[in-house]
Structure 1
Amino acid sequence: MNYLLGIDASTTATKALLINTNGDVVAVASTEYGFETPHPLWSEQSPSLWWDGAIASIRELLAQTGVDPAAISGVGLTGQMHGLVLLDEQGAVLRPSILWNDQRTAAQCDEIRRRLGKSRLIALTGNDARTGFTAPKILWVRDHEPPIYARIRHI
């Protein structure tokens, strides 16, 4: 029998689900973790928690079921939105991820609106500048962590 693996790397846990090709749930596993709030309005998390959580949850599924990994014919992956992960030239993480619920970027949102105009911004993107979105976070790193900003090669 073949199986499908689902992985969800969320804000508080990485969850894994194994189903058979009939759609029956075979097993579920979850690895919990937290996020940091080092300053008011901040929300950060190490991306390694997502990777480690996925490994632990998948291993737990396999241990629960005894399923041969070769019998897994497909993998679906989902995760939290708008988490900024900055990588250097070698693909190394430069700083903790700034999460979707982080609210530190009000000044950068104002800058985006000022430069583009709110109406034009909405016409171009379908959205206003929001503190949880990625572009204001990149500008925040530019403004507050220039040495890290200078090393960004992948987002």
Structure 2
Amino acid sequence: MGPPYVVGVDGGTEGIRAGVFDLDGNALAFSSCAYATQYPQPGWAEQDPDAWWKGLGEAVREAVSKSAVSAADIVSIGVDTTCCSVVALDANGRPLRPSLLWMDMRSAGCAEQVAETGDDALRVNSGGRGPVSAEWMIPKALWLKKNEPELFARAHYVCEYQDFINFRLTGRMVASVNNASIRWHYSTTHGWPVSLLEKLDLADLQGKWPQEVVALGSVVGGISAAAAQHLGLPEGIPVAQGGADAFVGMVGLGVVNSGEMALLTGSSHLHLGLTHDRHLHGPGMWGAYPDAVLPGLGVVEGGQTSTGSGIAWFRRLVSGACLT
């Protein structure tokens, strides 16, 4: 046996990336696997959850191979993903339809319905003044129930990319405190948004959500035999809980103290700050989300949706053209 190593995975919008690291955080190798986004109608964006799983296996295997580390020396794996990429699954974790990707805006009307409830759970939306984004979990789930009621009724789980991957890795269906706090209107201080769901005739959604919430970095479970074979890793190694890619990125940037802020750019741009006041709410910001990244701290948020994706679209549009 050699020294221990870990695998970190980022499930992004364009593809999934895996890296092999030593326990001091030094990177040995990276690999990525792209997957497609489908746009069946204007404002809609979908991905195949099975493509995430396939890409995970390919990226992890290639990263370990490039690192020249023995797979037997990998002692843990952790995954972060895009946030509010909502999936409907059967009891065995099989997708019932393509995911509604985070940038999917079909539920804009449902988001307005959520805002109109005036429920106290909306305090994280600019102190209750709104807006509520069509990106978030509850508007997407409401759209599914209103527009695909038979599928919604058949869904055993309605969850996120993060939860789907962890379920495939471990067989445990759990939510991340990060995703649930920032996009599901869950709160470590107030619990699940029961009254909000009731006002929307969506109380049955709570039973389809993962029933356990796991903190960032905590162990979800051991990697199953089937997952170990898929990834080429040892069976039983612990899977650490991840969350939304940008929020997990705060830790990677060293933004871990009250009063600090991170600027993260990618498919969207996010400004994320930490505060000791876990109940700080007000116009012009989202949050504070209590304990969403680190225990005892709230997270406040601002940003621009799809800015990076818009730049990527423009680059593809003019690729090869001569701009003057």
Shift in Å, 1:78: 0.4
What is the number of residues matched between the two proteins? Answer: 151
Hey, what does 1:122 align to over in structure 2? 122
Q: Does 1:37 pair with 2:39?
A: yes
SS state at 1:58 partner: helix
Contact 2:115–2:122, Cα closer than 8 Å, also in 1: no
TM-score normalised according to structure 2 size: 0.45
Say if 1:104 and 1:65 are closer, same or farther in 2 by CA, change over 3 A: same
Hey, what does 1:131 align to over in structure 2? 134
Q: 2:51 aligns with which of 35, 49, 52?
A: 49
Q: 2:86 aligns with which of 77, 80, 84?
A: 84
CA RMSD of aligned residues (A): 1.5
Q: Does 1:150 pair with 2:171?
A: no
Which region of structure 1 is more displaced relative to structure 2, 95-104 or 19-28?
19-28
Q: Distance in 1 between matches of 2:70 and 2:55?
A: 20
Structure 2 residues without counterparts, runs of 5 or longer: 159-324
Shift in Å, 1:121: 4.3
Q: Distance in 2 between matches of 1:16 and 1:53?
A: 10
SS state at 1:14 partner: strand
SS state at 2:157 partner: coil
TM-score normalised according to structure 1 size: 0.90
Q: Distance in 2 between matches of 1:133 and 1:71?
A: 39
Q: Distance in 2 between matches of 1:65 and 1:110?
A: 49
Contact 2:19–2:29, Cα closer than 8 Å, also in 1: yes
Q: Distance in 1 between matches of 2:94 and 2:6?
A: 30
Shift in Å, 1:77: 1.1
Q: Superposed, which structure 2 residues align to 1:88-99 within 5 Å?
A: 88-99=90-101
Contact 1:29–1:60, Cα closer than 8 Å, also in 2: yes
- List structure 1 runs of 4+ shifted beyond 4 angstroms: none
Structure 1 residues without counterparts, runs of 5 or longer: none
Q: Distance in 1 between matches of 2:82 and 2:9?
A: 12
Instruction: Give, as a single letter, the amino acid of the residue that structure 2 aligns with 1:61.
Output: A
Deviations 1:65-119 (A, max 9, x none): 33222201121210000110111233221111101111111111122122x227x
